[in-house]
């Protein structure tokens, strides 16, 4: 049971390049999330998917797209990377436990946009 | 709208001393409150959560937090710090709406001196 996995671990992009961050979970969770983490700002929600086939915007969706490929996988795409998207990106999935959903996080992807 | 304020972006304690990390929240509905810990180069791990019931919540690694509605606070404490507690700690709030979206505070980095 690997939990939540993310690839790649590190990436350097040039401004204008595109890339897809991959996330997969093997815990059979329905809900999945993408966050970005910036110093002093905690984590901010980019997009989430409450179930397979559905996605919704979070707090900071501009410049990103997502795909819920199946129940296990939730990818985040940067179509034209900008330096402002330099950040650490975390994927999470959640399960109903004790009457409330608890989120489990992956190890993160560190992205540098030059 | 919800928000979370963590007082002190950096807290330093001596090994064996009391750990107190402060968290205040605002929420228009009864909140669900969480503390997460992030060790270097890792994802977030759930320490503890308050949803309903007892206001003093015990978590992993000897941490606990008390929900005080009158003070809109959910401070994290541990009686005796260990070197292994050095990490970044995040307080988060959810109002239970669709998607179980969490709003995070800016984080507090805990340093433990020998």
Contacts of A94 in chain B (CB under 8 A): 100
Instruction: Note down pLDDT in tens along chain A; length 114 residues.
Output: 679 999 999 999 999 999 999 999 999 998 999 999 998 888 999 999 988 889 999 989 999 999 998 999 999 999 999 999 999 999 999 877 666 678 889 999 999 999
Q: What pLDDT score was predicted for residue B71? A: 92
- Which chain A residue has its CA at the smallest distance from B108's CA? A40
Contacts of B99 in chain A (CB under 8 A): 31, 48, 50, 56
Instruction: Name the nearest CA neighbour of B77 among B94, B91, B98.
Output: B91
Instruction: Name the nearest CA neighbour of A51 among A35, A34, A37, A33.
Output: A33
Q: Given CB atoms, is A93 within the 8 Å cutoff of chain B? A: no
Measured distance CA(A8)–CA(A22) in Å, rounded: 7
Q: What pLDDT score was predicted for residue A96? A: 73
Among A100, A106, A108, A109, most B C-beta atoms within 10 A, so best to mutate, is A100
- Residue-wise pLDDT tens digits, B59-99: 999 999 999 999 999 999 999 999 999 999 999 998 766 45
């Amino acid at each position: 049971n690997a939990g939540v996995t993310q690839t790649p671990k590190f990436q350097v992009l040039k401004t204008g390049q595109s890339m897809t961050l991959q996330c997969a979970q093997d815990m059979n969770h329905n809900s999945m999330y993408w966050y970005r983490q910036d110093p002093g700002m905690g984590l901010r929600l980019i997009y989430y998917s409450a179930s397979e086939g559905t996605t919704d915007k979070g707090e900071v969706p501009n410049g990103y797209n997502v795909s819920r490929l199946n129940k296990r996988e939730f990818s985040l795409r940067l179509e034209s990377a900008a330096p402002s998207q330099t950040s650490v990106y975390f994927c999470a999935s959640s399960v109903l436990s004790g009457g409330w959903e608890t989120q489990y996080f992956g190890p993160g992807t560190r992205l540098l946009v030059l | 709208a919800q928000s979370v304020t963590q007082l002190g972006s950096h807290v330093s304690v001596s090994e064996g001393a009391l750990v107190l990390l402060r968290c205040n929240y605002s929420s228009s509905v009864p909140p669900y409150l969480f503390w997460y810990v992030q060790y270097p180069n890792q994802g977030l791990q759930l320490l503890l959560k308050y949803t309903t019931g007892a206001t003093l919540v015990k978590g992993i690694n000897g941490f606990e937090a008390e929900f005080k509605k009158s003070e809109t606070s959910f401070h994290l404490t541990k009686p005796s710090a260990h070197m292994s507690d050095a990490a970044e700690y995040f307080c988060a709030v959810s109002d239970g709406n669709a998607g179980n979206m969490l709003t995070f505070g800016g984080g507090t980095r805990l340093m433990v001196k020998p």
